[in-house]
Amino acid sequence: MTAFLRFGYVNYTPDTEVVRFIRGLREGKLYGTECVGCGEFYFPPRSDCGKCVKGDGMEWKEISGDAKLVTFSISQFAPKGFEKVVPYILAVGQLKEGPNVVAHLEGVEKEEIEIGMDIKLVVKEIGEDRYIYVFVPK
């Protein structure tokens, strides 16, 4: 039993609105949400709008993954459990749909990285039916 399962009462349903995001990852698709009230777009998806806080609902939209590199950092150290992935490039990319996203940048040498370069956010399977999203050069 994980530590989290030992905390408090279960006050959520196991099939929440954002489960669609995980299902999309399993299909190789990335989804964000757009507020019906004000049009604010979110990735990763949110079930409520943080801008207008009206609660008019959120619409699911598949994203292109197309982005521009805003900034990056090359990490030589990692927290416990991630020692095998150093060094790694942590990037901020601005999606064509608007939001900035933080993810690893893979498939590019550090000498080839340029601010403003075209990158793409893609789904990556990391084993055991587990998925993440990463940036790759476009």
Does 90 lie in the same domain as 43?
no
Does 76 lie in the same domain as 28?
no
Does 97 lie in the same domain as 118?
yes
Does 73 lie in the same domain as 135?
yes
Amino acid (one-letter) located at 124: K
Does 70 lie in the same domain as 136?
yes
From CA 120, how far away is CA 123, in angstroms rounded?
10
The pLDDT, as a whole number, for residue 1 is 46
Q: Say if 18 falls within a structural domain.
A: yes
Please state whether beta strands 100-105 and 41-42 pair in parallel, antiparallel, or not at all (unpaired). Answer: unpaired
The pLDDT, as a whole number, for residue 67 is 98
Does 96 lie in the same domain as 28?
no
Q: Say if 134 falls within a structural domain.
A: yes
pLDDT tens for the chain, 138 residues: list them.
454 445 444 444 455 666 888 889 999 999 999 999 999 999 999 888 888 886 678 899 999 999 999 999 999 988 887 788 889 999 999 999 999 999 999 999 999 999 999 999 999 998 888 899 999 999
Assess contact for 42 and 51: CB atoms under 8 A: no
Residues 6+ apart with CB under 8 A from 65: 30, 95, 120, 121, 122
Distances (CA, A) of 109 to 36, 70, 72, 103, 138: 41, 17, 13, 16, 14
From CA 62, how far away is CA 72, in angstroms rounded?
25
pLDDT tens digits, 101-137: 999 999 999 999 999 999 999 999 988 888 999 999 9
CATH number at 123 reads: 2.40.50.840
Domain containing residue 109: 64-138
Does 32 lie in the same domain as 53?
yes
Would you say how long the chain is, in residues? 138
Does 69 lie in the same domain as 111?
yes
The pLDDT, as a whole number, for residue 12 is 47
Q: Say if 4 falls within a structural domain.
A: no
**CB neighbourhood size of 12 (10 A):** 7
